[in-house]
Structure 1
Amino acid sequence: MLHDTESIRTPEQQPARTVFTPELPELPAIFQNDFLQGFIKHPERFPIGVKRLRFWERSKIEFRNATDIGFSFFSEEYQKPGDIIEVTITSKNEINYFLGKVVLVMRSKKGYEIGMMLLNIEDGPRLRIVEQICHIELYLSDKRYKEGPFLSKEKLTEEWIERFAGNFPVR
């Protein structure tokens, strides 16, 4: 969400270049989606990898621990409902893998909003923590861009937790 803009002119009065500053809302709209209520939503600005599992890859996976925990993300590539996919989320020192079944696909101007249900019950709490880390990292980046690079990571993390953790989807 980039709203505030300002124009900068060079000394030679060359064409203006627009600088966007991020807007930090009270409650991020990224937590909200009427169709995907209760789903944990991945922020669009944070990289994610998606791989559709082929038949021979799916046959090796046991599905007895399926969950009712939903996860949604934006993708430029279409994923067919019913497909089994592997989602990869890379944070600073770790790569996290999650298996899920595509349950909802909504077309948008830029691509697709994909909703999936996790296949392993153990992945639910881990996904929630990984997603909170993603949101916190983007919050840190936005605040440092807007207010300066010398802000304390610990204080900004505490601020995010106080402001937004209570509204983060539990399921």
Structure 2
Amino acid sequence: MRLRHAASASPVRDAQTGFIHHALGCPLEYKRVWFGNAGRDANNENSDIGLIFESEEYITTGATLEIHIPLRGEMEQFRGKVVLVRQSGDCWEVGVWFPCRIDASRMRIVEQICHIEAYLQQKKYVDGPYNLNRDRIAAEWIHRHAATVPTI
């Protein structure tokens, strides 16, 4: 299933859960995993990190999802458990918790890159493509928003 794209920007961190909102405009696919658990390794310490994304499809709380995010030619893959489903207009906001600390840490970094890329696209649209310096834009996003990204 593909991610639904919303028109308006959302904050990096969800006020209710503290989870990271998936960056708008960045692709995300998910599929339900019927066997196995949400974490890769039961010996890993648990995390408090999660991801919220929008879906046109209702997903049952407790379901295990495999999430795929394409990033710079690679497919990043995570496995987590649905812990929150709330209606938002004509779609559902799905909150996925990552019990595996390694996945949570990777997801946190991937989402920061997604947010920086989305910010770059927004700046390109507003300021024009000729006024952009990728490093300057990334530093600007980090200065403005990195403190709102949850830590592990």
Q: Tell me, yes or no, whether TM beats 0.5.
A: yes
Which structure would you say has the larger RCO, counting Cα contacts within 8 Å and 6 or more residues apart?
A: 2
User: Partners in 1 of 2:15 and 2:102 — Cα distance?
Assistant: 26
Asked whether the 8 Å contact 2:13–2:148 carries over to 1, the reply is no
**Superposed structure 1 runs of 4+ greater than 3 Å apart:** none
- Give the alignment of 1:60-75 within 5 angstroms: 64=42, 65=44, 66-75=46-55
The CA distance in 2 between the partners of 1:109 and 1:134, in whole Å, is 24
Instruction: Please say which of residues 97-106 and 108-117 is displaced more in the overlay.
Output: 108-117
Confirm or deny: 8 A CA contact 1:44 1:74 kept in the other structure: no
Superposition pairs of residues 116-131 of structure 1, within 5 angstroms: 116-131=96-111
How far off is 1:166 after superposition? 1.6
Alpha carbons 2:13, 2:20 under 8 Å: kept: no
**TM-score where L is the length of structure 2:** 0.83
Percent identity over paired residues: 39
2:91 aligned residue (87, 111, 134): 111
User: Contact between 1:84 and 1:99, CA under 8 Å: does it hold in 2?
Assistant: yes
Residue 86 of structure 1 aligns to a residue whose secondary structure is: strand
Once the 2 structures are TM-superposed, how far is the Cα of residue 87 of structure 1 from its aligned partner?
Answer: 0.7
Q: Name which one, 1 or 2, has greater alpha-carbon Rg.
A: 1
2:139 corresponding residue in structure 1 = 158
Please give the alpha-carbon distance, in whole angstroms, between the structure 1 residues aligned to 2:40 and 2:146: 33
Give per-residue Cα distances to partners, 1:72-91, cap 9 Å, x unaligned: 11111111111110011111
Contact 1:84 1:101 (8 Å CA) reproduced:
yes
Against the structure 1 CA distance between its residues 152 and 161, is the aligned structure 2 distance closer, same or farther, given a 3 Å change threshold?
same
Equivalent pairs counted in the alignment come to 144
Match of 1:51 in 2: 31
CA distance in 2, matches of 1:154, 1:147: 16
Among residues 132, 136, 144, which one is paired with 2:124 in the alignment? 144
Unaligned runs of 5+ in 2: 1-5
Question: Gapped runs of 5+ residues in structure 1?
Answer: 3-21, 23-27
Q: Please, what TM-score do these two structures have when normalized by structure 1?
A: 0.74
The residue that corresponds to 1:41 in the other structure is 21
Q: CA deviation at 1:124?
A: 1.7
What is the RMSD of the two structures over their aligned residues, measured on CA atoms?
Answer: 2.4
